[in-house]
Amino acid sequence: MDKKVVLITGCSSGIGLSLAVRLASDPNREYKVYATMRNLAKKERLLECVKGLHKDTLEILQMDVTDQQSILNAKEMVVEEQVDILVCNAGVGLMGPLEVQSLDSMRQILDVNLLGTIQTIQAFLPGMKAQGQGRILVTGSTGGLHGLPFNELYCASKFAIEGACESMAVLLQHFNIHVSLIECGPVNTDFLVNLQKSELGDMSLQQADTRTLSLYEKYLQHCGFVFQNAAQDTEDIVKVFLDAIQSSNPSFRYFTCGDIPPLIKLKITEPDGSAYISAMSKIIFSDADQ
């Protein structure tokens, strides 16, 4: 039986690395995995996880999702000349008061999270259409379904991905190509380590007013509590990806926490958004005025 060819972006750590290892280690050897990353100097962690045991089920390729030629070069390295399952997982974050963010930093978020994902899909979509089947899975975020303070650009990029994927899904069903968004909440990965974050005491924060800085400090405390008490492990996320990959009738949206989170339900069901805004503010900034 021919292996299903899977290409995954953002495999130097976290979800991408764990998913690549799991699929390449499939006991039935159903998958040939191309694990891609922007910086091949970071491939040692992935190699350590597979310990050289998957020479015929795993290849590691350099691919920068913000560089169209890099994407095309990686595509040329796929010896099967087709990709059955494309996983767009590469992503970065940006956290801090909006008024201190540089234009370059904001552009980078959009280049990676939005345009990088779309460029990657653009490159592999014609092949999927030609073969009359395919799966596209995109690592989404609950931050693409409801806004988070001090994450304006990150949420904007993820909101945009929701719209792009929904638009594609409507069309691509006519080509037997299924699009799925894997909606993640907090996850124990290197995402926080790599996050571009304004730290308290940074010179750039002098541009912000004292009230904003007080609220930002409160938000950072909230984030620390959430990641300590509610973050999921990457293996939990990988199980959801596997459900989507192995389903004969995949859903458009998967929530890694199971059900739709209560705040998102509130946002969907209440008419004008006021209750959601008040609830979110109370959860994050309770006691901020004291």
Residue carrying the six token digits 């594609």? 168
Nearest-5° angle of CA 11, CA 190, CA 62?
Answer: 25
Per the CB < 8 A criterion, the answer to whether 144 and 162 are in contact is: yes
**Token digits of residue 223:** 């984030």
Residue 286 is assigned to a ligand binding site: no
Question: Would you give the DSSP letter of residue 25?
Answer: T
How far, in Å, CA of 128 to CA of 211, rounded?
51
Residue 24 is assigned to a ligand binding site: yes
**Token digits of residue 92:** 């970065």
Residue 253 is assigned to a ligand binding site: no
Residue 273 is assigned to a ligand binding site: no
Which of the following is catalytic: 154, 219, 254, 276? 154
Residue 249 is assigned to a ligand binding site: no
Residue 219 is assigned to a ligand binding site: no
- Is 219 one of the catalytic residues? no
How far, in Å, CA of 263 to CA of 168, rounded?
26
Residue 176 is assigned to a ligand binding site: no
Residue 76 is assigned to a ligand binding site: no
β strands within 142-290, DSSP E: 177-184, 196-197, 253-255
Residue 19 is assigned to a ligand binding site: yes
Q: Where are the alpha helices (DSSP H) in 65-209?
A: 68-76, 103-109, 117-131, 152-172, 191-194
Q: Which helix (H) or strand (E) holds 280?
A: helix 274-285
Question: Would you give the DSSP letter of residue 288?
Answer: T
Residue 37 is assigned to a ligand binding site: yes
Residue 23 is assigned to a ligand binding site: yes
Residue 141 is assigned to a ligand binding site: yes
Residue 30 is assigned to a ligand binding site: yes
Residue 35 is assigned to a ligand binding site: yes
**Token digits of residue 207:** 């541009």
Residue 281 is assigned to a ligand binding site: no
CB-based burial of residue 226 (10 Å sphere; 0-12 exposed, 13-18 middle, 19+ buried)?
Answer: middle
Per the CB < 8 A criterion, the answer to whether 208 and 99 are in contact is: yes
Residue 31 is assigned to a ligand binding site: yes
Residue 161 is assigned to a ligand binding site: no
* Nearest alpha-carbon partner for 178 in 212, 120, 128, 225: 128
* Nearest alpha-carbon partner for 256 in 189, 187, 192: 187
**Hey, which residues are catalytic here?**
154
Which residues are part of a known binding site for NADP(+)?
10-38, 64, 158
- Binding site, annotated residues: 10-38, 64, 141, 158
Q: Which residues are annotated as a binding site for substrate?
A: 141
